[in-house]
Structure 1
Amino acid sequence: MTEILLPTLAALIGTAFGGLITYFTQRQQLSHNLQILKETYKTDFMAEETAKHFLSHKSHIDRSFDVLQKHLGGFEDDELRKILVRAGAIRVYREDGSEWWRLLSRMDEYIDRKKTISKAY
């Protein structure tokens, strides 16, 4: 019985140890690949973060496209719109036809603020 159990146990331990090594190696490689991707597309990542920063300002729920374009220079109009969408923003138009953007995650805040303003009148 010991002759069968000992090699089986050794094989099981070896397989488990090999599996752990593979897991940690692949995890490290994935982290490294993610870092390379971030460096490759750093401009896009930073543009999204900057857009989120401007659209997350506590007193300004939405921003005009002109203001965003001014602060996020170097992008064509449609390219900037794609960056804003990736950042989680939606486009709205004002009555005067101007283009404004706000984060979808702030829609509840926008609605609450609009209700508060309409109650004041």
Structure 2
Amino acid sequence: MDPTLAGALATLLGAVVGGAISYLLNRQLHGQQLRLTREQHKTEYMAEETARHFLSHKGYTDRSFEVLQKHLGGFSDDELRKILVRAGAIRTYREDGSEWWRLLSRMDEYIESKTG
């Protein structure tokens, strides 16, 4: 085998192996950073998950702000509203002026229940 060709193949093989190792290490590092970030912001993630749980209940498309506030204690009104928006909820007001929230993903279900 030609020494020039052997050198080129060895260089190519070294680059491929080095690139693969670098990719795997960066992937592992990214996963660790993601887990660390989730752990640091666990309160917000869990609050969003809880809000989605209450707003996904089969029997109710809407929940009053007071009910959500009762079950998601420890947040100011504005913080709770931000959590609800991050969870994918939209705010509506009833005729009596009360504040209600529903998941945007359940809008079709809400419209169907009002027309049906």
Flag whether TM exceeds 0.5 (same fold).
Answer: yes
* Counterpart Cα distance in 2 of 1:86 and 1:98: 21
Unpaired stretches in structure 1, ≥5 consecutive residues: 117-121
Amino acid at match of 1:89: A
Q: What do the CA deviations read for 1:25-50 (whole angstroms, capped 9, x no partner)?
A: 00000000001001100000000000
Q: Which runs of 4+ in 1 moved over 4 A?
A: none
Amino acid at match of 1:84: L
* Counterpart Cα distance in 2 of 1:84 and 1:104: 11
* Counterpart Cα distance in 2 of 1:33 and 1:67: 35
**Which residue pairs with 2:30 in the alignment?**
30
Percent identity over the alignment is: 66
TM-score with structure 1 setting the length: 0.94
Q: Partner of 1:57: helix, strand, or coil?
A: coil
**Which residue pairs with 1:93 in the alignment?**
93
Amino acid at match of 2:73: G
* Counterpart Cα distance in 1 of 2:101 and 2:95: 14
**Which residue pairs with 2:78 in the alignment?**
78
Unpaired stretches in structure 2, ≥5 consecutive residues: none
TM-score with structure 2 setting the length: 0.98
* Counterpart Cα distance in 1 of 2:62 and 2:19: 50
Pairwise CA distance, 1:2: 1.2
The answer as to 2:11 corresponding to 1:4 is no
Count residues with an aligned counterpart.
116
Pairwise CA distance, 1:60: 0.5
Q: CA RMSD in A?
A: 0.7
**Which residue pairs with 1:119 in the alignment?**
none
**Which residue pairs with 2:103 in the alignment?**
103
Q: What do the CA deviations read for 1:39-74 (whole angstroms, capped 9, x no partner)?
A: 100000000000000000011001000000000000
